[in-house]
Amino acid sequence: THQWRGIIEEYRDRLPVSDTTPVVTLREGGTPLVPAQVLSERTGCEVHLKVEGANPTGSFKDRGMTMAITRAKEEGAKAVICASTGNTSASAAAYAVRAGMVSAVLVPQGKIALGKMGQALVHGAKILQVDGNFDDCLTLARDLSDNYPVSLVNSVNPVRIEGQKTAAFEIVDMLGDAPDIHVLPVGNAGNITAYWKGYREYAADGLATRTPRMWGFQASGSAPIVRGEVVKDPSTIATAIRIGNPASWDFALAARDESGGFIDEVTDREILRAYRLLAAQEGVFVEPASAASVAGLLKAAEQGKVDPGQRIVCTVTGNGLKDPDWAVAGAPQPVTVPVDAATAAERLGLA
Ligand code: F0G
């Protein structure tokens, strides 16, 4: 009977809810903080992975969505809408079901992973594929929520950030203090904003003695913050972070500068290398966008930017099952054998 109750109940006094707020939850949060053995060896540091793919719909978005849908319910909304590269839509669709609401999702046509599309479909979302990229979807979602009876649950909705900041609380609660460095993939830049807010709140209230340096990584083909200008036609295999004009751009710059961190880019090749390392050497299967944090840490280490002996947390944001194409692509086809132990043993290299 001691189940984790979800982020709103676990961190109620730090979130904008009241005693009468109708909490909509799937018991999100409370995700594993896993020591990363190979990454620790490679960097000479103590590296941990915050495995957000363990959330109910398989990504960190559930932390923000429990707050956004709870608030929408409290305000009497009947329908919610979001723009998404896939994970937000999967989460919105699931939480809308819990709240008895209709969900509408706008996704860039042909650019979301199959697992995420399946989630939105099976949870009964109304899906529109937009002839444009994520940034166009967000413009359209804002327009619709301004002019029609539907509430916006993207991270431009500040309660999303409130929910997502709880991941930083969990890390400090687990480690006893903030890490030296926190590493994240950056897309629309809501999550780096949320972690920075969470770390600052804990430090301000004396629950941590310090705040970490925030390191963010964008995909090279979708790196507007690194370039300092909007990317009109963003591209990357990490479709979750294929975003050319992040909504929380200024907040990301503040997190970077106030924390003494940086935001850099990683190539698709570096992302895939980290993706394979995580699965094959740490036993943690993440989606490509999530591997951008680890790719970034390895790149920084190779550049001599990582002093040994530090405590580092990398958030891996989404579950590998959402986008399994990259796991299968390029891997050898399994061989077929008859029901015969001698043959099977020989094929397995046991004999
Ligand atoms: N990792 C994953 C797996 C994501 O789905 C996202 C964002 C990010 C990282 C980047 O986080 O946007 O807060 O900087 N996905 C959004 C979506 C855009 O629609 O699911 P961010």
Query: Are residue 213 and residue 242 in the same domain, yes or no?
Result: yes
169 in a domain, yes or no?
Answer: yes
With CA atoms as reference, report the closest residue to 140 among 164, 184, 109.
109
Q: CA 241 to CA 224: how far, in whole Å?
A: 11
Q: Does residue 335 sit within a domain?
A: no
Specify if 2 maps to a domain. Answer: no
Residue 54 sits in the same domain as residue 189: yes
Ligand 1 nearest atom to the CA of residue 185, by list position: 9
| CATH number where 240 lies | 3.40.50.1100
Atom of ligand 1 nearest to the CA of 187: 14
Distance 293 CA to ligand 1 centre (A): 12
271 part of a folded domain: yes
Residues 143 and 176 in one domain: no
What is the whole-number distance in angstroms between the Cα of residue 158 and the centre of ligand 1?
16
User: Residue 11: which domain range?
Assistant: 7-59+159-327
Is the predicted ipTM greater than 0.85, yes or no?
Answer: yes
pLDDT averages per 10-residue partition of the chain, 351 residues: 94 98 98 98 98 98 98 97 97 98 97 97 98 97 97 95 98 98 98 98 98 98 98 97 98 98 98 97 98 98 98 98 92 94 97 89
Closest by CA position to 289, among listed 168, 191, 169: 191
CA–CA separation, 136 and 148 (whole Å)? 18
The two structure tokens encoding residue 274: 């980290």
Whole-number pLDDT of residue 331: 87
Q: Atom of ligand 1 at shortest distance to CA of 88?
A: 20
**Domain assignment present for 77:** yes
Residues 149 and 200 grouped into a single domain = no
Rg (C-alpha) for the chain, rounded Å, is 20
Q: Indicate the residue among 130, 157, 184 that finishes a domain.
A: 157
Which of 140, 157, 174 is where one domain is finished? 157
Give the binding-site residues of ligand 1, using a 6 Å CB cut-off: 59, 61, 84-88, 155, 185-191, 240-241, 287, 289-290, 317-318
Nearest residue to 316 (alpha-carbon basis) of 10, 6, 31 = 31
Are 243 and 229 in the same domain? yes
Strand partners, 314: 49, 183
Centre of ligand 1 to C-alpha 83, Å, is 11
Are 53 and 68 within one domain? no
| Residues 30, 104 within the same domain | no
Same domain as 209, residue 74 = no
pLDDT value for 157: 93
Number of domains in the chain: 2
Nearest CA, atom 11, ligand 1: 187
Angle at 138 between CA 152 and CA 81, to 5 degrees: 30
In a domain, 309, yes or no: yes
